[in-house]
Amino acid sequence: MPGTHPLRVALLGCGVVGTEVARGILANPIDLAARVGAPVELAGIAVRSLDAERDPAIPRELLTTDAETLVDGADVVVEVMGGIEPARTLILRALERGAAVVTANKALLAAGGPELFEAADAAGVDLLYEAAVAGAIPIVRPIRESLAGDHVRRILGIVNGTTNFVLDKMATEGVELDQAVKEAQQLGYAEADPTADVDGYDAAAKAAILASLAFHTRVALADVAREGIRAVTADDVEWAKRTGHVIKLLAVAEVLGPVDDGEISVRVHPALVPADHPLASVRGAFNAVFVEADGAGPLMFYGQGAGGRPTASAVLGDVVSAARRRLTGGKGLRESKDQRFPVLPPEAAVTRFQVRLAIADRPGVLAQVATVLADHGVSIDTVRQTSSHTHSGEGETGAATLVITTHAAREASLAATVDAVARLEPVRQIISVLRVEGA
Amino acid sequence: MPGTHPLRVALLGCGVVGTEVARGILANPIDLAARVGAPVELAGIAVRSLDAERDPAIPRELLTTDAETLVDGADVVVEVMGGIEPARTLILRALERGAAVVTANKALLAAGGPELFEAADAAGVDLLYEAAVAGAIPIVRPIRESLAGDHVRRILGIVNGTTNFVLDKMATEGVELDQAVKEAQQLGYAEADPTADVDGYDAAAKAAILASLAFHTRVALADVAREGIRAVTADDVEWAKRTGHVIKLLAVAEVLGPVDDGEISVRVHPALVPADHPLASVRGAFNAVFVEADGAGPLMFYGQGAGGRPTASAVLGDVVSAARRRLTGGKGLRESKDQRFPVLPPEAAVTRFQVRLAIADRPGVLAQVATVLADHGVSIDTVRQTSSHTHSGEGETGAATLVITTHAAREASLAATVDAVARLEPVRQIISVLRVEGA
């Protein structure tokens, strides 16, 4: 394409993802040029230190510590440095100068998205972030564009590969959480400090982004009720199997009430998923997002949620989109926030529950427990009572295990109900309370 | 939005999909307006007859038989009439007059796509067709945009719900094809004349569209090797299960050789899919598209592939995209056809095969068969030999069943090999030859 001004891409960050983005632009320039309609040039890569050890494919002369100057000369700025600052300031600077921005920074979007979207709207440029949720899986664009003429009712997402790997390991090998986390660390699926994954912070940021997109409402990280997988035991996983479920850490976003005038609930927690649900077969470190929309019905998107190359694939797709728009003209995609649904507090969430109790193994206990549930307006779906001599591992002799699955109930009612059940004389222990999703 | 010129949508066709598109625009105008950024007005609905019986939600005053005049006044033309003419002429007319076009017409795109894309490129407007492949599943936009910075290697798609329903019925109930087709007809999943579905014509049109998108190459319907499911027996389905597979009608599009200088193979045929492959769990009339890309790795998109409301969801998403672009300016998305890979003839396709033979039940037969395969350069992966007295239903006494799964082999070599095997004295019958995909 002689005479066509090359589109200048500034890359901020050169970690695992940044390196793969740079390789993608450098290794195959003809291809990107054909897809965009003009040559695409990697103008430079902003790094903290010029001397860090890097992939030999990264030309040293592209590196700079002067991110501001790099941003100022760019058509498209790709931010893959992570963290809040200086990413936020650099993205705002890019948008104000009229550059399109592509980011993979879920933490920044969940914490400070509105400010960034307003800056993008004001400048009329694209702020694209396909890589911020579920890595390589195209999920942002489908919700933002393909479902723009539909009403999303509910999203159930396995959006954290580390915890899915850990739970899958527990299910297939019967090991406890600590052991599974250790294996994930050895394989590079989990950080030395696994808090962000195990305690659900990473999934919560993604839940906020997905809910904002799906419900055209600004949902902040603080709106997301969050519970990690630390309390999940090998015993829970085994009982899940016995009752026809698998345990998954889910990001849930749903509308309660009328789809055009409802309230939304956004949360992250471990949940029992029926074994025949499409999400149940998502194994290892894979991610999947299940979407229920009024018109489309159920949809699922499945793939790799992390890793340098998969994440770079999503970033490069956005680079092509942003670069094409620079070339062909027109304003960037606006943030859609027309619905402004109120976000419910965590205790108002409505789900089905499975409560597992150790009870005295004698007649009449189930009746007592069922009465307490009825008194609290919590309706029972199924009950399963097992004497300890048929299944081991449930504690003392003379105890039975009672597994109760409820119909949908408010989180607050369920908590009160469980408290009352725990006070019953023949109830030895509330072993676990798990939500059931996807039924 | 006072003072904003409403965007005028012309709807061509008022069948099952058209009715749902009209309802979507009429029932919820505020929502669409918010998503687009301007009011969206249904300018009219072109139909063949004003007097046909219709859904009461369709206002009679919107109906017209003068499609040309309707098209001439529109910003966005939605074509859901199907068939080649007059759809083709009306779409070309719309594009030439600068309107954006949204179509669900896979037959027209597969047969005459290039002409339409050239007209859209020349006018600089959008020609969007998310609904043409796999109904509600966002697959066109993800391949066209999200994967634009990646190299797609292979697509395996369950893109015809009727045949998936039929094969699933055969697998779960052990019935023969005719019976399963009859049930599909009773449930409205299959037409009175099921040829388009059962013989793979519908899937072949979708395969051509998917391959064109994924490989940035024009692939015509005539380039697609096509084999339907008519020859699949209950016995095949049962044997698939025994060997750890399910039979699915797949649309396959793949690159052989280097990803930037290879050849592509596009085909539709029944295939054995390993039971643990994500596609194996796609049940009933659902669709799913499995994509393997160099960077992203494996991805799967799952959902409803047909039906009025699901298809209308995809159409309305495109209407929002096209309307937004009318409002915000800029040229439409161009067809990407930079790669121009040659398309291989059917006999050059490379797949694994499972050949099932009835042989004389005596020592040495396997050695003879294996020698023929070796002589033809076809390499064996697994062999399973079963005497007829352990499994019934394989015909005469004294016969054994031999199931051979090969490594990847050219279609032509395999055909020659099977011919040679059939001529061996102890070989009574070649019971079936099925391709194996997704292993």
Residues of B in contact with A332 (CB under 8 A): 328
Parent domain of B269: 140-302
For the purposes of burial, counting CB atoms within 10 Å of the CB of A216, is it exposed (0-12), middle (13-18) or buried (19 or more)? buried
| Residue of higher predicted confidence among A357 and B331 | A357
pLDDT of residue B389: 57
Residues of B in contact with A145 (CB under 8 A): 141, 317, 320-321
Confidence class of residue A398 from pLDDT cuts 50, 70 and 90?
confident
pLDDT one-digit tens code per residue, B339-366: 778 999 988 899 999 999 999 998 899 9
Q: Does the annotation place A191 within a ligand binding site?
A: yes
Checking if the pLDDT of A1 tops 50, the result is no
Q: Nearest-CA distance from A60 to chain B in Å? A: 24
Mutate to test the interface with A, among B31, B80, B129 (most CBs of A within 10 A): B31
Q: Nearest-CA distance from B317 to chain A in Å? A: 5
Residues of B in contact with A300 (CB under 8 A): 300-303
Shared domain check, A220 and A152: yes
Answer whether A146 touches B (CB < 8 Å): yes
What is the average pLDDT across A382-400? Answer: 69
Contact B314 A296 (CB under 8 A): yes
Specify binding-site residues of B for L-homoserine: 191
pLDDT of residue B260: 73
For B142, the closest of A141, A319, A325 (CB atoms) is: A141
- Spatial distance between the Cα atoms of B259 and B215, rounded to a whole number of angstroms: 9
Confidence class of residue A4 from pLDDT cuts 50, 70 and 90?
low
For A313, the closest of B37, B293, B303 (CB atoms) is: B293
pLDDT of residue B346: 87
Checking if the pLDDT of A396 tops 50, the result is no
Residues of B in contact with A136 (CB under 8 A): 293, 295-297, 299
Answer whether B150 touches A (CB < 8 Å): yes
Q: Nearest-CA distance from A76 to chain B in Å? A: 14
Confidence class of residue A207 from pLDDT cuts 50, 70 and 90?
very high
Contact B24 A295 (CB under 8 A): yes
Tell me if A278 sits within 8 A of A288, measured CB to CB. yes
What residue of B is the nearest CA neighbor of A277? B281
For B299, the closest of A302, A319, A324 (CB atoms) is: A302
Confidence class of residue B2 from pLDDT cuts 50, 70 and 90?
very low
Shared domain check, A298 and A150: yes
Checking if the pLDDT of B395 tops 70, the result is no
Residues of B in contact with A23 (CB under 8 A): none
B143 CB-near residues (< 8 Å, 6+ apart) = B152, B210, B213, B214, B291
Shared domain check, B426 and B313: no
What residue of B is the nearest CA neighbor of A331? B328
Answer whether A281 touches B (CB < 8 Å): yes
The answer to the question of residue A333 being in a domain is no
Residues of A in contact with B148 (CB under 8 A): 35, 316-317, 320-321
Confidence class of residue B1 from pLDDT cuts 50, 70 and 90?
very low
Residues of A in contact with B333 (CB under 8 A): 324
Mutate to test the interface with B, among A42, A146, A147 (most CBs of B within 10 A): A146
Q: What is the number of domains present in chain A?
A: 3
Shared domain check, A426 and A386: yes
Task: Say which residue the tokens 């969801």 belong to.
Answer: B313
Checking if the pLDDT of B408 tops 50, the result is yes
CATH number at residue B115: 3.40.50.720
The answer to the question of residue B341 being in a domain is no
Contact A138 B142 (CB under 8 A): yes
pLDDT of residue B397: 56
The answer to the question of residue B243 being in a domain is yes
* Tokens describing residue B24: 């979507």
A325 CB-near residues (< 8 Å, 6+ apart) = A100, A126, A332, B330
Shared domain check, A255 and A176: yes
The answer to the question of residue A152 being in a domain is yes
Quote ipTM for the complex: 0.93
Q: Does the annotation place A395 within a ligand binding site?
A: no
The answer to the question of residue B290 being in a domain is yes
pLDDT of residue B298: 97
Q: Nearest-CA distance from B361 to chain A in Å? A: 40
Shared domain check, A323 and A253: no
Least confident of A38-52, A327-341, A400-414: A327-341
For A316, the closest of B150, B298, B333 (CB atoms) is: B150
Shared domain check, B280 and B167: yes
pLDDT one-digit tens code per residue, B82-97: 999 999 999 999 999 9
Which 3 state secondary structure label does DSSP give A436? strand
pLDDT of residue A389: 57
Shared domain check, A275 and A418: no
Contact B302 A303 (CB under 8 A): no
Check whether the bond before A86 is cis (ω within 30° of 0). Answer: yes
| Residue of higher predicted confidence among A9 and B390 | A9
pLDDT of residue A394: 47
Shared domain check, B265 and B248: yes
Q: What is the mean pLDDT of chain A?
A: 93
The CB density around residue A283, as the number of other CB atoms within 10 Å, is 14
Shared domain check, B282 and B179: yes
CA B91 to chain centre: 23
Domain endpoint, select from A287, A303, A319: A303
Answer whether B384 touches A (CB < 8 Å): no
- Spatial distance between the Cα atoms of B45 and B12, rounded to a whole number of angstroms: 6
Which 3 state secondary structure label does DSSP give A279? helix
CATH number at residue B431: 3.30.70.260
A101 CB-near residues (< 8 Å, 6+ apart) = A76, A77, A78, A79, A91, A94, A95, A116, A120, A125, A126, A127, A128, A322
What is the average pLDDT across A257-268? Answer: 88
Answer whether B302 touches A (CB < 8 Å): yes
Cα angle value B11/B12/B18 (rounded, 5°): 70
pLDDT of residue A395: 46
Q: Does the annotation place A112 within a ligand binding site?
A: no
pLDDT one-digit tens code per residue, A150-176: 999 999 999 999 999 999 999 999 999
What separation in angstroms does the CA of B144 have from each of A29, A77, B330, B391?
18, 22, 18, 49
For B303, the closest of A294, A299, A321 (CB atoms) is: A299
pLDDT one-digit tens code per residue, A264-300: 999 999 999 999 999 999 999 999 999 999 999 999 9
Q: Does the annotation place A14 within a ligand binding site?
A: yes
CATH number at residue B192: 3.30.360.10
The answer to the question of residue B344 being in a domain is no
The answer to the question of residue B37 being in a domain is yes
- Spatial distance between the Cα atoms of B340 and B334, rounded to a whole number of angstroms: 15
Q: What is the mean pLDDT of chain B?
A: 93
Domain endpoint, select from A244, A269, A303: A303
Residues 120-139 of A with CB under 8 A from B: 124, 130, 136-138
Residues 21-40 of A with CB under 8 A from B: 24, 28, 31-32, 34-35, 37
Contact B138 A137 (CB under 8 A): no
Shared domain check, A186 and A55: no
Specify binding-site residues of B for NADPH: 106
The answer to the question of residue A340 being in a domain is no
A225-226/A263-274 β-pairing? parallel
Residues 151-190 of B with CB under 8 A from A: 151
- Spatial distance between the Cα atoms of B50 and B63, rounded to a whole number of angstroms: 7
Q: Nearest-CA distance from B364 to chain A in Å? A: 41
Shared domain check, A77 and A56: yes
Active site residues of A: 206
Tell me if A248 sits within 8 A of A168, measured CB to CB. no
What is the average pLDDT across B247-269? Answer: 92
